[in-house]
Copies of this chain bind each other. A is one copy, B any other.
Amino acid sequence: MSDFFVQKLRHGASLSEDDERALRALCMNVDKFDPQNDVTMEGDKPKSIKLVLEGWACRYKLLENGKRQIISLFLPGDMCEPYMTLPQFMDHSLGTLTPVTVARVSPEVIKAVARERPQIEKALWWDLLLAMAMGRESIVTLGRRSASERLGHLFCELHVRLDKVGLVDGLGYEMPLTQSNLGDLLGMSTVHVNRSLQELRAAGLVTMHGRRVTILNLEGLRSTSLFDPTYLQSYTQA
């Protein structure tokens, strides 16, 4: 069974057996999507909170000039919206990158669960605050990091995030994004993604082949990419 959501939230609060059961009970209403599909489109009025149970998805916007920016990645266990309030209409789209299993959760139900179970409320807040911290770091990345630093930083962040849900094995992890996806995520062209990946490879830091990232030198990668994991930890209790 795919338990990534519970596994992730355990990092945000200590959950009892009952808490975990309550969380799993939220994930009954499940949909499956093909890769490169929209779960929700800009302008839609959402009726449920989406939870990624399996696969990779993203939040993105399209500009009038045709350019696309991926705003954030959703990995297994990630929630696509804050639990409290849904927008009147979406100002962005949610799309899949791989085959994805999504749970639709009613905001009323999740609010009720959060009210009854303080540890769940705490964990949901932790998740939200972590997402905000990652958003802030994205701004720094796009504003001030070079192309290869952006890639290296992303691989470091994914390493930490995937580790939280048990999806890191040994030297690396499955990473199903195409170079074109990486371009949309990191604000660069596909061609330049390719060349920057070659730089990282030549420096003996990381390789990306097939759908897999292999980290050859984690410390080196972190320092050359200016990766400081502080932002992923500042809301986690000691």
A238 to B45, CA, bound (A): 13
- Are A237 and B187 in contact, with the CB atoms below 8 A? no
Q: A85-B129, A139-B71 are in contact. Are A230 and B91 (CB under 8 A)?
A: yes
Each complex incorporates copies of this chain amounting to 2
- Are B59 and A136 in contact, with the CB atoms below 8 A? yes
> Using a Cβ–Cβ cut-off of 8 Å, how many residues does chain A contribute to the interface with B?
48
* Cβ < 8 Å to B, chain A residues 180-231: 186-187, 226, 228, 230-231
Indicate whether A99 reaches chain B with its CB closer than 8 angstroms.
no
- Are B88 and A237 in contact, with the CB atoms below 8 A? yes
Residue of B nearest to A60 (CB): B140
Q: A85-B129, A125-B84, A129-B85 are in contact. Are A90 and B234 (CB under 8 A)?
A: yes
- Are B135 and A135 in contact, with the CB atoms below 8 A? yes
Residue of B nearest to A81 (CB): B129
**Which of A1-9, A15-23, A61-69, A171-179 is near enough to bind chain B?**
A61-69
Instruction: Pick from B126, B132, B230, B234: contact of A135, CB below 8 A.
Output: B132
0/1 per residue, A137-148, Cβ < 8 Å to B? 011101111000
Collect the chain B residues with CB atoms within 8 Å of residue A42's CB.
Answer: 230
A80 to B34, CA, bound (A): 39
Instruction: Pick from B82, B88, B226, B235: contact of A64, CB below 8 A.
Output: B226
Collect the chain B residues with CB atoms within 8 Å of residue A166's CB.
Answer: none
Collect the chain B residues with CB atoms within 8 Å of residue A71's CB.
Answer: 136, 139-140
Indicate whether A92 reaches chain B with its CB closer than 8 angstroms.
yes
* Cβ < 8 Å to B, chain A residues 96-155: 122, 125-126, 128-129, 132-133, 135-136, 138-140, 142-145
A231 to B63, CA, bound (A): 13
Collect the chain B residues with CB atoms within 8 Å of residue A122's CB.
Answer: 85
A-B contact pairs, 12 of them (CB 8 A): A59-B136, A61-B136, A64-B226, A71-B139, A85-B125, A85-B126, A88-B236, A89-B234, A91-B231, A142-B142, A142-B187, A144-B187
